[in-house]
Copies of this chain bind each other. A is one copy, B any other.
């Protein structure tokens, strides 16, 4: 077995991946059971189990009790997206971070937002529009609604002085999130805020977070044209 990493389990992961990549074990094949692999790799069954569970979570293996472990036929591979805090993303790129709150007020939520937040239409939430800059150039525009009922303490905050993203991350951790990506042509406001021309293609990230008390916040983030999000395998 090719030892590629420090841990035994990781070595098993690597070796099984190699066998699949090299087609020693083909799509649909049943692979030896945990006990046999444990003997072959000189490891305990628990260690083999850990390795195979990881590969199953990755989508490379299908595991079923009694039926054994099979190489996935149509592997739907998963990619992990890391959604960083804007400020950190900008500073990590070696730019100077700044932001500007364009609007902060209490408003009744429109139908689309109500649906996303699973709240009744017309409820009064905090509505916030912010632009984040790197070295003075617009990086992303945020359109955010915050539900004070699920984020205690938010009412007294002046988001002109405190970064909403960071305040929320620190003061209202979420239990569940819904995230969606899409592309939209910049509308007049997007264009103005991002200092680009109307109609240019923007990557849009839409995220709603929930805790026991319900929806905390929903945000539509419009990235500057040309922005790329990287996902890691």
Q: Which A residues are closer than 8 A to B by beta carbons? A: 17-18, 20-23, 27, 60, 73-85, 88, 166, 169-171, 173-185, 199-204, 211-212, 223, 225-233
Contact across chains for B74 and A179 when beta carbons are under 8 A apart: no
Contact across chains for A212 and B21 when beta carbons are under 8 A apart: yes
Contact among B78, B211, B227 with A81 in the assembled complex (CB-CB below 8 Å): B78
Contact across chains for B81 and A79 when beta carbons are under 8 A apart: yes
> A23-B171, A179-B230, A182-B228 given. 13 additional CB < 8 A pairs?
A17-B175, A27-B170, A74-B88, A76-B82, A76-B84, A77-B177, A180-B229, A181-B203, A182-B226, A182-B227, A183-B184, A185-B185, A200-B201
Contact across chains for B229 and A166 when beta carbons are under 8 A apart: no
Alpha-carbon distance A204/B231, docked complex (angstroms) = 13
Interface of A is mostly: mixed
Contact across chains for B231 and A181 when beta carbons are under 8 A apart: yes
Alpha-carbon distance A73/B88, docked complex (angstroms) = 12
Contact among B21, B27, B84 with A174 in the assembled complex (CB-CB below 8 Å): B21
A-B CB proximity, top 5 nearest: A183-B183, A201-B201, A183-B201, A183-B203, A179-B231
Would you give the shortest CB distance from A203 to chain B, in whole angstroms?
Answer: 4
Alpha-carbon distance A233/B78, docked complex (angstroms) = 12
Contact across chains for B177 and A233 when beta carbons are under 8 A apart: yes
Chain B residue numbers with a CB within 8 Å of A21 are 173-175, 211-212
Alpha-carbon distance A202/B203, docked complex (angstroms) = 9
Contact across chains for A183 and B88 when beta carbons are under 8 A apart: no
Chain B residue numbers with a CB within 8 Å of A76 are 82-85, 88
Contact across chains for A80 and B83 when beta carbons are under 8 A apart: no
Chain B residue numbers with a CB within 8 Å of A77 are 83, 177
Chain B residue numbers with a CB within 8 Å of A202 are 183, 201
Contact across chains for B78 and A82 when beta carbons are under 8 A apart: yes
